[in-house]
Amino acid sequence: MKDFLSIGEISRLFGLNIQTLYYYDSIGLFSPKYRDPATGRRKYEFDQVYPLATICYMKRLGYSLQDIKEQMNTQHVGEKLDSLKRRSDELHRQWQELISVDEAIQRKIRFIEQAMQNIRVDQISIRSYGTRRYIEIGEEELLYRHSSFYFYPTIAFYEKDRKYFGAYLDPNEEKIPDFIPEDQIREIPAGDFLCGYHLGSYEKARDTIKRLRRSHPELKLASTALNFNIVDQFVESDRANYITSTQIRILK
């Protein structure tokens, strides 16, 4: 094996861009042992592959270059094990966050696909639903700071002049995430509902609720209307294309 490696050779050996090695040199993270004073060409001793392998290893573990630089200068087995344990804990936390994000994505996909099956936006119908659960959020000023707003489909409750919100729980989701307190979970009782669809921005949602109520004057309807956001700002940029499922309980 050669005693010295050129920057091209060491870049090929590790699959690194030459510019990356230049940068490592400029910040004092990994520099060649020899530099030709006449040409400026860098030469790396073969033994330097070991610290460079450590740098690549730590980068794959997600350490910042600054962290790598600090640890390369003070690396001992005990300290390194402690550092690896801390990094493992951080990766587990990030992994849990990614799992939660993926679950939110899958939940959103399921909800939209199921809600869009055989949808007829001009149809008014009576449908029966079993008990449904949701997470209580409250008034609109609380909506955008509540994590459930981003992880679950939104329900807007219209009751006379009041509007408040909840986050709809998937009926097939058995385990509720730990970050949701049990005392925030509410139920929409089973029953028959007068159902229709609101198209467009939410500012006109009350007009759709009035239209639904006028469509069946013979029915005794609850004072609260439920609006399930199907196509919303998270999947559609044009508010004119929003689709909301509007439901009003039929009272006996």
Report pLDDT for 172: 73
Q: Does an H or E element contain 101, and which? A: helix 77-116
Q: With beta carbons less than 8 A apart as the criterion, state whether 251 and 221 touch.
A: yes
What span, in angstroms and rounded, lies between the C-alpha atoms of 71 and 117?
Answer: 56
Q: Evaluate if pTM is beyond 0.85.
A: no
What span, in angstroms and rounded, lies between the C-alpha atoms of 186 and 204?
Answer: 27
CATH class of the 4-75 domain in this structure: mainly alpha
Report pLDDT for 16: 93
Q: With beta carbons less than 8 A apart as the criterion, state whether 132 and 168 touch.
A: yes
Q: With beta carbons less than 8 A apart as the criterion, state whether 149 and 165 touch.
A: yes
The CA-based dihedral angle spanning residues 118, 122, 123, 128, taken in that order and rounded to the nearest 10 degrees: 70
Q: What tokens appear for 206 in the block?
A: 């009350």
The residue ranges of every structural domain in the chain are: 4-75, 112-250
Report pLDDT for 132: 94
Report pLDDT for 214: 96
Residues of the chain with pLDDT below 70 are 1, 74-78, 173-174, 177-179
Q: With beta carbons less than 8 A apart as the criterion, state whether 146 and 137 touch.
A: yes
State how far Cα 142 lies from the chain centre: 19
Strand partners, 221: 250
| 123 three-class SS | coil
Report pLDDT for 77: 67
| 25 three-class SS | helix
Nearest alpha-carbon partner for 121 in 9, 239, 244: 244
CATH class of the 112-250 domain in this structure: alpha beta
User: In degrees, to the nearest 5, what angle opens at C-alpha 181 toward C-alphas 157 and 173?
Assistant: 75
The helix-helix angle for 7-14 and 49-60 (nearest 10°) equals 40
Report pLDDT for 232: 92
| 162 three-class SS | strand
Report pLDDT for 218: 95
